[in-house]
Amino acid sequence: MIKKGEVKLGIAPIGWTNDDMPELGGDIPFEQCIDEMALAGFEGCEIGNKFPRDPKILKKALSLRNLSVASGWFSTFFITNRAEETINNFIKHRDFLFEMGAKVIVVSESGKSVQGKMDTPLHANKPIFSDEEWKKMVEGLHELGKLANDKNMKIVFHHHMGTGVQTPEEIDKLMELTDPELVSLLVDTGHIVFAGGDPVKLIKKYGKRVKHVHFKDIREKIMRKTFEEDMSFLEAVKAGVFTVPGDGMIDFSPIIDALNEIDYKGWIIVEAEQDPKMAPPLEYALKARKYLREKIGF
Neighbours of 213 (CB within 10 A): 23
With respect to residue 104, please indicate whether it lies within any of the assigned structural domains. yes
> What pTM was estimated for this model as a whole?
0.98
- Domains identified in the chain, total number: 1
Predicted pLDDT of residue 3 = 87
pLDDT band of 163, cuts 50, 70, 90? very high
Average pLDDT over residues 294-298: 95
Query: 116 is in which domain, residue-wise?
Result: 7-296
Cβ atoms of residues 86 and 76 within 8 Å? yes
With respect to residue 1, please indicate whether it lies within any of the assigned structural domains. no
With respect to residue 36, please indicate whether it lies within any of the assigned structural domains. yes
Predicted pLDDT of residue 2 = 87
Distance CA 109, CA 89 (A): 14
∠ CA(12), CA(17), CA(270), 5° rounding? 20
- 288 has a pLDDT exceeding 90: yes
- 293 has a pLDDT exceeding 90: yes
Average pLDDT over residues 204-210: 98
Distance CA 194, CA 249 (A): 11
Average pLDDT over residues 259-287: 97
- 1 has a pLDDT exceeding 90: no
With respect to residue 2, please indicate whether it lies within any of the assigned structural domains. no
With respect to residue 268, please indicate whether it lies within any of the assigned structural domains. yes
Cβ atoms of residues 106 and 186 within 8 Å? yes
CATH of the domain at 86: 3.20.20.150
With respect to residue 98, please indicate whether it lies within any of the assigned structural domains. yes
Predicted pLDDT of residue 203 = 98
Nearest alpha carbon to residue 24 among 222, 209, 274: 274
pLDDT band of 124, cuts 50, 70, 90? very high
Percent of the chain with pLDDT over 70: 100
pLDDT band of 14, cuts 50, 70, 90? very high
With respect to residue 212, please indicate whether it lies within any of the assigned structural domains. yes
Distance CA 44, CA 138 (A): 30
Predicted pLDDT of residue 62 = 98
Average pLDDT over residues 248-270: 98
Average pLDDT over residues 32-55: 98
Query: What is the DSSP-derived secondary structure letter of residue 53?
Result: S
